[in-house]
Amino acid sequence: MGRLALTPNVRPQRFLTKQGNVAWSSGNTNKQDISQTDYLTSLDLISLQTVTETTTAPSGTTSGAGAYATLANVQVKVNGGRAPFSLPGYHTNVYNQVWNPDYVDSLATNPIVTNATNNWKNHLRIPLTVDPIAEKAAWYTGDTQLNLSCLITGNPAANIWQTAATATIGGGWDVYSEKFSAPAPDEPGGWLDEISFYKQTELYTSSALSNGTTSITLETDQDYIRILLIFYTGTAVGSGVTFAPADGLYTSMSLVLNDKFNVIDTLTEDKVRFEMLQTYTRLVSAGTAVLDFMRLKPPTRRDILPTDPDSTKRLQLKIVSTSASNSVDVITETVVDSQFAEKWARSAAAKAGTKR
């Protein structure tokens, strides 16, 4: 009577574990391997970032990426090849606000004080599952043939401040994992269904906008969870100091299937922003536009956009702008069948067959 815990056979235990530390390195990529145990659902990067200034503070233009400007890219790689997650630090933070609408980055800070070592806070979560509630798209890191790594590429000071003056960047990030212990995927109670989804979140393309309509062809043969766009002026976030995300850089957008069927039809910026307000109950960062196909709470697959090759020959995003001086980063979040779960599905089927 009165015990809340589920019985051991149906209760996966949650573990938060420090995996190691990734040091910041100007223009270089450092990595932290993830331990080969249990089921992995997310990684957290806890900032130990420092900016030391002696006599002169940075001056001139400062990157619009703010506290996240030091992270040119954040990746999770599998067996050194496929990357289920790959976004710049700023984009990762914006993505977190969409993936989990209740999230606010209120701990972020990037002080600039001379004659001091400034502690910057740019903590980031790397979500690997399709939503904050379900475990679908988790990874069975208990598979010793599966090698997952977290990689961080450091952004040089020249891409953060126009004039760095005496500022030097140091420190890095502690990497923590969220894991759950449960039976192997081919055993009763194992997470075979959860690992059968391969979710990929990536910066799909960076594109300069036209004075008119810009057409961006997206990949097919996958299920779209959402398409996230970040509009900006200046250089790309990892390429220069003038990156400046802003509203008012496009007029409307459409999502066109097979050149004739408008899944999204001529949405103005105000309509997109109002749709986001309805979905996330707050405005997301400036310059952000989201076409969300899993927008209900709790998350549901009702609106997921499939692009099966038998029925979808082309999928295009069409963006109307009145200036050729603006750019957009297109982030796609998609799901396909996971090749990394195939052997576990075959093993589970074989074991079920022997028990009949």
Give 46-94 pLDDT, tens digit per residue.
Answer: 999 999 999 998 999 999 999 999 999 999 999 989 999 999 999 999 9
Q: Residue 313's closest CA among 218, 213, 247?
A: 218
What does DSSP say about strands 197-208 and 85-87: parallel, antiparallel, or unpaired? parallel
Residue percentage of the chain with pLDDT more than 70? 99
**HEC per residue, 5-32:** CCCHHHCCEEEEEEEEEEECCECCEEEE
Phi then psi for residue 60, to 5 deg, are 75, -155
Residue scoring higher pLDDT (33 or 351): 33
Distance CA 309, CA 255 (A): 17
Confidence at 10, pLDDT banded by 50, 70, 90: confident
Q: What is the pLDDT of residue 356?
A: 43
Query: Each residue of 39-48: pLDDT tens digit?
Result: 999 999 999 9
Q: What is the pLDDT of residue 8?
A: 72
Distance CA 112, CA 167 (A): 9
Partnered with residue 322 across adjacent β-strands are: 211
> Is residue 1 over pLDDT 90?
no
Q: What is the pLDDT of residue 183?
A: 94
Q: What is the pLDDT of residue 167?
A: 92
The angle subtended at Cα 215 by Cα 214 and Cα 221, nearest 5°, is 155
Domains annotated on the chain, with CATH: 14-181+197-337 (2.60.120.730)
- To the nearest whole number, what is the mean pLDDT of the chain? 95
pTM of the predicted structure, to 2 decimals: 0.95
Confidence at 354, pLDDT banded by 50, 70, 90: low
Query: Each residue of 158-214: pLDDT tens digit?
Result: 999 999 999 999 999 999 999 999 999 999 999 999 999 999 999 999 999 999 999
